[in-house]
Structures are given as structure tokens and as C-alpha cells.
Structure 1
Amino acid sequence: MRLVLVDNLLLEQGGWTHHFDLQPHLGLISLIAVAEANGHQGILYDPKLAIARGELALDASLYMAMAEAIRRRKPDVVGFTTLGCNFICTLKVAAYLKRADPGLPIIVGGPHVSILHRQVTERFPQFDVVVRGEAEASLPRLLEGLRSGNLDEVPGVTFRHDNEIVETPQSPQLMDLDELPWPAFDHYPIEQVGLRAIRVEAGRGCPFDCTFCSTASFFGRRYRLKSSRRLVAELDFLHAQYGISEFALMHDLFTVSKAKVREFCDAVEDRGYGWRCSARMDCVDAELLARMRAAGCQSIYYGVETGSRRMQKIVSKHLDLDLYEPILDTTIALNMRPTASFITGYPEEEHEDQAQTLDAIGSSIGRYPESLTIQLHLLTPEPGTALIDQFGDRLAYDGHISDFNFPTLEPDDADLMAEHPQVFMNHHYYPGALPRRQHVFVTSAYLCLSQLGFVLLRYLLADFGGSLSRLIFAMQDWTDPSEPDRVDPDLIERFITRRDSGQMTIGCRSCVTGSCARSWSEGRNEDRSGTAASRARPASCLRRGTGLPTQPWCSRAPMRPPRSWIVLRRTPIQVPCRSSC
């Protein structure tokens, strides 16, 4: 059978536009390898590539155009992977496909629909089968079942039969990840895209129970890593085949087993590769970090989630915040680039909790160089979590699009999401102790402010005693309540220029309004003339996928960046300084 697997159209907000990473989907290329090992033909369709090539536009034509592009590949079966944040896109494309070819089998999998398999099967007839959990074991039997018309013996699937929902027993979880087939990297145009760094699956599973996270609901709580021999073999293959020497090891908690990490470091150290990973701060120490750095680790993503000790307990993260600065100190001292990620918008979060999170961020801006990246995300309700079990009956919808959430493109997108909160909970929010307006304001204000860079932001913070919470709450108090909740560069500029001169230093005002306000204006003017498609840029066009300057500013002008840098734009293209300075 000819199986066309369709990647997520996962969009990230970078400043005032959407962008995306062009990377092979690791789950899909694993499934293609499984299908082809069983005599089927696998084809990978990535809509992000199509947008980057100008074949698709990020507008109301997208869903139908994607369906037509999939049909041109003449599939016998179409399989979608999807996340909650972009399920509206998957749903609409599948509906156009089914309308054009009612007899075409359409299957769907991924974390979101695995948890909500009954709701999806009951409400959306464009999907013939929902594949639950890890699909490597079930896919061959599913394809044979679709050929024969009998799915009763296929493990881990949900489907309709005679107007009833049938749910077959779950297939056993694969414990030895070395048994996975070699990923079908050749089905992605790695060389044509010009990838210099690539993602590699390192493992699956999470043993922790944070109330907001659904990872364990999909991959299970058993922590599993590929053996160091298998993992290094994949890196060696990619280096030999494509010349790639930088890798992102994909596992939310790579360092849970320090012994396994040391084994990997021993195996990879003499290769000269650079790699990055994710870790909990209480699952690393100075000795392990030094060993990782010696073996080529360049960057670590730390999920901190909240700067409030009270909220650490409530959301069951249970991270000792006394580790925060020492771990960052050690990581930076070893010349690795850390990312610290925080979340706000928990339903139990109070004003003081949010202030503590903001001030943890603010103190880091004052303490660390630009080699530290700090993220602040708005909480997204996820299925299969303790939060959705406790607060799912209170979900509310306001149409706000945050972080990775897919934009509304067709006229009925918003109505459809509002009508089905138990399926589209990612686009909803939990009403809580703080008003929704405050959470939206805080996260969007930080997005704007962070793109000033640490140098300029330090000048702003100096007028508020180094406190980010005081800065953002003052901005909120100053803002007219009739204005939109979301902060944009116009508001930042007006706040800075209209503040009483006795409350803000002349250096701070001239620094920000002199350089950045012009850049904001340039970005806004360019943005008005572009289409949504032209404003979407692949992350390969950006500096490390962020659109932000990462190299040090010219030492001759510490108060302002070189004019060839666009500090804050709606189109996040970085132009490096080419002057003699």
C-alpha cells in the first residue's frame, strides 16, 4: 500500500510573526521505516516545507491546498500526526480529503488524539481510525487490516463499526528502543534544506507527574533511552551521510539516569560532535555537567516552570529553587548555553506567585550574559493531565492565540474550537485566581521586552530596582483598560516615551526609543505590506531559530546596537553587523 504520512504544521510565534523549524518528524520517519520493512511504500509530506517553498500560503486557502497536495501523491492510505495546538488544521485538511475521496482511509495519531480517541472518533467522521500511543508495533497490522477490511485484531486502535465505537486492547509498550527500525532520514530533503543541525530521538517516557504536562500520558512513566551504541551509531550515520556534526537529542529528561548519560559521553566524546538536550535542574550536578561539556554538549534546556516555591508544590514539579542560580552558574561557566523556561497562567497562581516568577527572570537578566535564553509561556490546558481532570469543566474560550497555537484561518475555525472545549482545550484557558487579562498581558509584555536583548532590558529594569514584576505591573497599571490585552511594540514605545522624566533615566529612554523605536517602526511598516505567508519564515533563516541577535554588541557603542541589527521586528530576520567596528 502507498502510505502518505502528513507532518504537523507546527507554527511558533517569533516576535510578531509565525516561524517554524524545518526538521524531519522523528515519529513519522520511524513509521515509514516500519511500513517499508513490511513491504509498503512510505511517503512523507511536510506542509512546512511547502510553505517555505511558496507552494502553500498561511491563509484561508491552506486547508484545501494541503488536501490537494496530499491527493496528488496518490495515497492508498493517509496518516496524520497531530498535536492539540494544531488539531484544527489536521481536522480541516482531513475533512477536505474525505469530501474529495470518501473511500480514502484516513488515520490519525499523536499525543492529543491518543488521549481523546473516543471523543475524536465520535465527533469527527473524517477520521476512520485513531492510532493510540506509540504506533511502530500496530502500524503493519493496521495496514493489513485496512486492506482486508477487518480491524478487530489490530492492537491500539479506535474506529467506528456499525455506528459503534470499537476500542481494541493497547499494544505493549516497546521497552528496548534499540529494537526500533533505523529512521528513514532519506525521506526528508536534508541536503536541499541545508540542515546543519538535526534532531535525533534519544528516548521516551517521563517518571514525573507535573499536573500540567501530558508527556507521561502518551509515552508512559517508564524512562527509556536508546543505548549509547545505538544513539552514537545514528549520529555517525548522519555525519557520514550528510556532513552534520550538531545534534539535538530529543528526550524531555535526558539526564534522569546519570549512569546512562555518562555511558553516552564516553561513547561520543572522541567524535567531535556538538549536541544539546533537555534536563531537570535536580537531575544534573557540577560533575555531570562537566562530563557532558567535555563530550560536546553545547546547550541545555531547563524546564523551571515557576519561580514560586508554593506553585512548585501545587503543580507537583517539586523543583528546589535553590538549585536555579547554581546550576545556571555552572552551565554558563562551562561554556554551555542554557535555556530556562517558565510558565504562568496556572489556575491556582496568585499575584505574588506570578511576581516571584517574573522576578526570578528579572534577576537572571541582571546576573547573566546574553548566553542565557529565558522563556515565559502562557499555560496551555492539555488532555491527560491532573489539571484537566480538576478544572476541565471550567474551560473558557476567548480566541487568544498564544505560543504554538495555530491561527484561525477559515471563518468557522473559532466557532468550531469554542463548540468543542473537550477536544480543543489547548485553545482554551482555566479561569483562576488571577484574571485572564493579566496572564495575557504579562506573557506578551515579556515577549516584547525580551526581544530588546539583555543589555537594553537591564537599563529598563534599573528604573524599577531590577524587578521585572514591578516593570510589567507598572506597564499594566499605566495601560488604558480599553486597549487589547496583548502588548505590542507600540505600547512598549509609548510607555517608555510617556513616562515621567523623573522616573526614568535619560540614558534608558534615549537607548530604547532612539534605536529600538525606529526598528519597531520599520518592522511595522514592512509587516503591513506582506501577506501571512510571506511573514512566515523557516527557522533556518533565523539565528538559532529565534530571530534575535546572539553575538555580542559592538563594544564602541554599549548604549545601542549597531544600526544594521533589527532588534524587534514583526518579521524576525537578523541582519549581522558588517561595519568595520
Structure 2
Amino acid sequence: MYDLLIVNVHRQYDALPYLAGDWLGIYQLSAFLEENGYPAKAFAGYAHEADDLLENEIDSGVKIIGFSCDYENQQEVIQLCRKVKDQWGLPVIVGGPQAVALGEDFLIKSCADAIVRGEGELAALELMHFFIDRTGKIEDILGITFLKDGICVNNPDQPLIKNLDSLPFPKPHHNIGTWFRRNSAAFITGRGCPFNCSFCYEGGNMRGVRWRSIENVMTELKEVLDSRPDIKYVLFTDDTFTLNHRRLRSFVEALSDYRKKRDFGWFAEAHVMTLLRHPELVSEMVEAGLLTLQIGVESGNDSVLKAYNKKISTKDIEDAVILCKNSGVPHVVANIIVGGALETEKTIKESISFGKSIIEAGAGMMELHAINFWPLPGTAMTKRPHDFGIEILDPDSLTSTTDYPVVRCDTLEPEHLCEYRLRMEGKFKKKMEVTASQLSFDRALMHFQMAYKYNSPTQWYYILNKIDRYRMYCSLYINGAIRKYEQIPEKDRPLWRPIRTCPPNIKNGFNYAGDIEVDSEQFSVLLSGTGKMTILEASEYCKLSMEKFIEIALTLESFMAMGFCRY
């Protein structure tokens, strides 16, 4: 038996698995309440799983139900709150990112007893005292919104938790379900964001940057990874991971030291200007196991970036992409917003052109997507849309699951924005596909290693995996089935065997190694590459000198059409 069940559910819109297991807030809150005498558990999953979940857990004696509410699941939360109140009459509290925008209308529709705004630990603890122990007054609990005699009351905000090291770590027993740390493990190393971007939830609602000590984060990281050898990918999900360069350097050193004992790769978010001010840190992060870096791009127009309060230019973004490429970052991911501040046909076309240019500059690394603008609660753009040239037509997002625009910009209606976003996404993907066929072995290998070794496939991986020579060469290389010619001891080379890593094709009378056109001699060497002949035997079969055969074989190897095996 336990006191509080925290539920974070969304409707299922896609056949693909829903990766909700590392939404850390609900698990961190469970750990905090348990440490303070109120056992709690959390569930993240699909809305259609909620009925059975609630019946099972409430029948087992849980005393309070909490729901996490965000921009996308408001209607589900309203329905489930009413279900709990109507069927069981238990106290219901609601928190999560959307809570800052919820008020009287939500409380009436949901019948929830209280809304917890912002950081939830302290307010939730006081609500446990009030509902379970019958101590204190709800009117005295900071950071909550509730109805009193039909009037909506917004109590003042709770003070922020200054010492994040004082918070307990989430444990597996705080989870109900199968998603928590299923294939990866996420960690928050700090709270707050200083940047105040006009479209961003964190910028509009998070107060005061606070960090956990590196020792505290590493203790939790080691505890999780040492107990879960199957987890190879870690996500540091806080917005300010790279903000303090001195802290970042110490963090990178700690990660490097631990990776000597335990191999894993990791994801982090970074501000463009932090990277440019301390460029040496980028290669240090790579050495420490960085696999994916997410940066803020948002637009290819400088006036739009200024309206977003990004404090960067398109030149800064381009310089950061080039820096990451030269520093060996395997993967950088970013978004461009369609239908945001000052958006016109002209700014959209500029964003398309700019996006294609940074994909080319970061060939094999830069993954770029087009997303709709979302009017997130508490942001400057949601509070003052007309200042940014937009009109919010559907503030409750009743017509969208973030897949369709809910705003009008300039002369652009939602249907126009929808078409432009799809066009932009398609052009970005096409640019990646064209660029992919020219990638080097080292760059392509990074993406196959991320997928095979660290269970973190990228869009580059999915594109490359459709090209025979990349898929076969990198797969065989990772598995140890083939080696590059230069890796073979010189004295043993004649006895190693050429093996092709793409099919020999003939189209309209032309010879091809997979998708690459080759001449007759190259095609002959390709045909000999079955692994059934040594290099010496294959050169004789092709009626070529050993030197000429190796020269051609190395040409095929250069575009990953041929490798070499021992047996």
C-alpha cells in the first residue's frame, strides 16, 4: 500500500513505441515524497492504459491520485480527474508543465482538488499533510491553485529548492509499468534557464539556475549504470548543461574517468554561444563519450531570431555547426519552427535555404527538422501573440496533436503553414539523402555504432541503412567480419580475401557497385570479391598485377564497396 499514484498519460496516435519512460519529474517527486514519509509511485504510458491502472491501484489502497499535465494531454487529464472523483471520490492533484496556465475553468471541468504550479516537491508534501494527515490549511500552501466557495484562489509561488543535492534519487520501485529506463537513462543535472526565449516554456517559466554538484550526479549515474549493464545511452536533459564552462569541464573529466570502466554514450543540450565562446570544450565532450548534441536553431532569418530573443545570429549557428563537425561530434540535432514569430513566405523560404546550407556544412552530422509553433503556457509569444505577428486560433489545441498549426501568421493560414512545414521537412530530408551518398567511412561508421552499440539510431543511420554499401560495410566492420586494407599486417596482406559489400549490378549496359557506377576493371575486381579467393588469387583471376589489383580494390574500399576478411 502507498499514498500517492502519479499518472502521466497521453493518447496513442502512432504505432511506434511511446518513449515516455524518462520523464523524470514524476519519478523524482515519488522519491521525494517517499523520503518524507509518504510512499508514492509513478506511471507513464498511454491513456487507454489508465482505466486498468487506476482500478488496480485504487483497489490496492492508494489514497491520492496525481496527474501530470502538459500542452498535449490536457483533455485526457480532465477526463481522468473526473473519473477518479466520480467513481472513487479520492483527492486529485494536478501538476506538470501546463499547470502554470490552468485555472478556474480547468478546476471546474476536472473537479481536481488542487493544481501545483512550478516545482512540485514542497507543495505536494504539504498537500500530503493536508489530505492524509488532516493537518494544516490548504489556504496556506504556497504554489497551488484551488477553488474555495466557487472562487479560484492562486496562492503565491513556492520558494525554489536551492540545494538540489538534498533531493533523493528515483529508484526502480517508484515506477509502475515498463517504460522507465527501458533502453536508456535520463538525468537532470540542474534546474532553471537564464535565456528567456520568447517561444520556450523553460525560458518563460523557469526561475533561477541551480545545479547539482558533479559528485551528486556521478553518484546517481554510477548507481544506475552499475546496476543496469544493458543501458548504453545516457541523456542529460537539462537546458543549462553547457552553461557554466568550468563546471562542464569538470563534468567531462568525471565522465571520461568513469567511461574507462563502463562504456556508454550520452546526449546533451547546448547553447550556440556557449560552444563558440569555449570551442575547446566540444572536442573534450566528444572524447568523454558525447554522441548527440541538441542546439537551438529555430529560424534561418536574423530578425526572427531576434524576436525569439535567441541572442544569436544565423552566422553564429553556422559557425557552431562547423565547429561541431571539425571537433568530431557524431550527431547534432535541431529544429526550425514554422509559423512562429514574424513568419512570412519570405522567412520560411530563407529558413529552408539556411537549413539546407547547415545540413551541407554539417554533412553526416547535422539532423534538422521542421516543427509547428506551439503556444506553450507562460511564454511571451503565448501571452502577447500580436507582438510577434501571430494570432492563436486554437489556444487549447483541440484540432492538433502538435501535427497541425493552431496559429495564423501574416497572410498565412494554418493550411498554408501545414503545407510549408511538410515542404521544409521534405527538403531537409532530401538534402540529407543526397549528402549521405558521399559520406566518408569514418562519418558513416559513427551512425552505425550509435545504432548498434548504443541503441541510439539517428536519421542519418536510417538513410545510410538503405544504401547497400554503407549498410553492409559498416555492419560487417562493426561485427569484426572485415577490416580495412591499411589495418592488415603488411606481411599477411596477400593471404587476406577481398569481399564486396554491395551487389554488383548492371543497368542499361553500365556496371555498378551498388549505386556507384564503375568501369570494367573495377567491376571485375568487385566480382572477385566473394571472400573465396585471396588477394593473390583474385589478382590472378582478374589478370591484373598485385599492385594494380590493390589499387582498384582500394578505390572500391574508398566508397565502401569492398572490405577484406581473413577467412
Is TM more than 0.5 here? yes
1:386-437 superposed Cα distances (whole Å, 9 cap, x missing partner): 11222279421396535478xxxxxxxxxxxxxxxxxxxxx83244343322
Task: Evaluate the alpha carbon distance shift between residue 64 and residue 11 of structure 1 in structure 2; reply closer, same or farther with a 3 A threshold.
Answer: closer
1:232-257 superposed Cα distances (whole Å, 9 cap, x missing partner): 11111111111234210011232111
Q: Per-residue deviation at 1:456?
A: 4.5
1:108 aligns with 2:106: no
Who is 1:549 aligned against?
462
Output the amino acid matched with 2:393: A
Q: 2:223 aligns with which of 234, 237, 246?
A: 237
Q: 2:366 aligns with which of 352, 362, 372?
A: 372
Give 3-state SS (helix, strand or coil) of 2:182's partner. Answer: coil
Output the amino acid matched with 1:435: E
Give 3-state SS (helix, strand or coil) of 1:247's partner. Answer: strand
Who is 1:283 aligned against?
274
In 2, Cα distance between equivalents of 1:129 and 1:545: 41
Task: Evaluate the alpha carbon distance shift between residue 377 and residue 548 of structure 1 in structure 2; reply closer, same or farther with a 3 A threshold.
Answer: farther
1:396 aligns with 2:374: no
Task: Evaluate the alpha carbon distance shift between residue 118 and residue 214 of structure 1 in structure 2; reply closer, same or farther with a 3 A threshold.
Answer: farther
Q: Per-residue deviation at 1:133?
A: 0.9
Task: Evaluate the alpha carbon distance shift between residue 457 and residue 66 of structure 1 in structure 2; reply closer, same or farther with a 3 A threshold.
Answer: farther
In 2, Cα distance between equivalents of 1:298 and 1:190: 28
Q: Per-residue deviation at 1:6?
A: 0.4
In 2, Cα distance between equivalents of 1:206 and 1:330: 24
1:558 aligns with 2:515: yes
Give 3-state SS (helix, strand or coil) of 2:343's partner. Answer: coil
Whether the aligned pair in 2 keeps the contact of 1:63 and 1:92 (CA below 8 Å) is: no
Q: Write out aligned runs for 1:117-516 (5 A).
A: 117-121=103-107, 123-147=108-132, 148=134, 150-188=137-175, 195-220=182-207, 222-243=208-229, 244-272=231-259, 273-285=264-276, 286-336=279-329, 337-391=331-385, 394-397=391-394, 400-403=399-402, 428-448=406-426, 454-456=432-434
Whether the aligned pair in 1 keeps the contact of 2:233 and 2:456 (CA below 8 Å) is: no
Q: Per-residue deviation at 1:545?
A: 7.6
Output the amino acid matched with 1:155: L
Whether the aligned pair in 1 keeps the contact of 2:364 and 2:460 (CA below 8 Å) is: no
Who is 1:493 aligned against?
none
Who is 1:538 aligned against?
none
Give 3-state SS (helix, strand or coil) of 1:267's partner. Answer: helix
In 2, Cα distance between equivalents of 1:547 and 1:322: 24
Q: Per-residue deviation at 1:32?
A: 0.8
Q: Per-residue deviation at 1:343?
A: 0.7
Q: Per-residue deviation at 1:202?
A: 1.6
Whether the aligned pair in 2 keeps the contact of 1:247 and 1:274 (CA below 8 Å) is: yes
In 2, Cα distance between equivalents of 1:435 and 1:171: 41
In 2, Cα distance between equivalents of 1:157 and 1:75: 22
Who is 1:414 aligned against?
none
Q: Per-residue deviation at 1:371?
A: 3.0
Who is 1:21 aligned against?
19
1:33 aligns with 2:27: no
Who is 2:5 aligned against?
4
1:270-300 superposed Cα distances (whole Å, 9 cap, x missing partner): 1114211011111113211012112221210
Whether the aligned pair in 2 keeps the contact of 1:45 and 1:70 (CA below 8 Å) is: no
In 2, Cα distance between equivalents of 1:10 and 1:218: 26
Taking only aligned residues, the RMSD between alpha carbons, in angstroms, comes to: 3.3
Who is 1:77 aligned against?
64
Whether the aligned pair in 2 keeps the contact of 1:306 and 1:312 (CA below 8 Å) is: yes
Whether the aligned pair in 2 keeps the contact of 1:349 and 1:432 (CA below 8 Å) is: yes
Give 3-state SS (helix, strand or coil) of 2:266's partner. Answer: strand
Who is 1:504 aligned against?
none
Q: Per-residue deviation at 1:443?
A: 1.4
Task: Evaluate the alpha carbon distance shift between residue 129 and residue 548 of structure 1 in structure 2; reply closer, same or farther with a 3 A threshold.
Answer: farther
Q: 1:93 aligns with which of 80, 84, 87?
A: 80
Output the amino acid matched with 1:327: A
Give 3-state SS (helix, strand or coil) of 1:549's partner. Answer: helix
Whether the aligned pair in 1 keeps the contact of 2:4 and 2:38 (CA below 8 Å) is: yes
Whether the aligned pair in 2 keeps the contact of 1:63 and 1:96 (CA below 8 Å) is: no
In 1, Cα distance between equivalents of 2:288 and 2:268: 13
Whether the aligned pair in 1 keeps the contact of 2:4 and 2:65 (CA below 8 Å) is: yes
Output the amino acid matched with 2:413: P
Give 3-state SS (helix, strand or coil) of 2:297's partner. Answer: strand
Whether the aligned pair in 2 keeps the contact of 1:311 and 1:349 (CA below 8 Å) is: yes
Q: Per-residue deviation at 1:547?
A: 11
Unaligned stretches of 5+ in structure 1? Answer: 57-61, 406-426, 460-540, 561-578
1:174-204 superposed Cα distances (whole Å, 9 cap, x missing partner): 1221122222343337998783421111211
In 2, Cα distance between equivalents of 1:550 and 1:74: 50
Unaligned stretches of 5+ in structure 2? Answer: 438-453, 470-512, 518-560
Whether the aligned pair in 2 keeps the contact of 1:67 and 1:94 (CA below 8 Å) is: no
Who is 2:42 aligned against?
44
Task: Evaluate the alpha carbon distance shift between residue 117 and residue 283 of structure 1 in structure 2; reply closer, same or farther with a 3 A threshold.
Answer: farther
Give 3-state SS (helix, strand or coil) of 1:85's partner. Answer: coil
Whether the aligned pair in 1 keeps the contact of 2:78 and 2:110 (CA below 8 Å) is: no
In 2, Cα distance between equivalents of 1:125 and 1:284: 45
Output the amino acid matched with 2:116: V
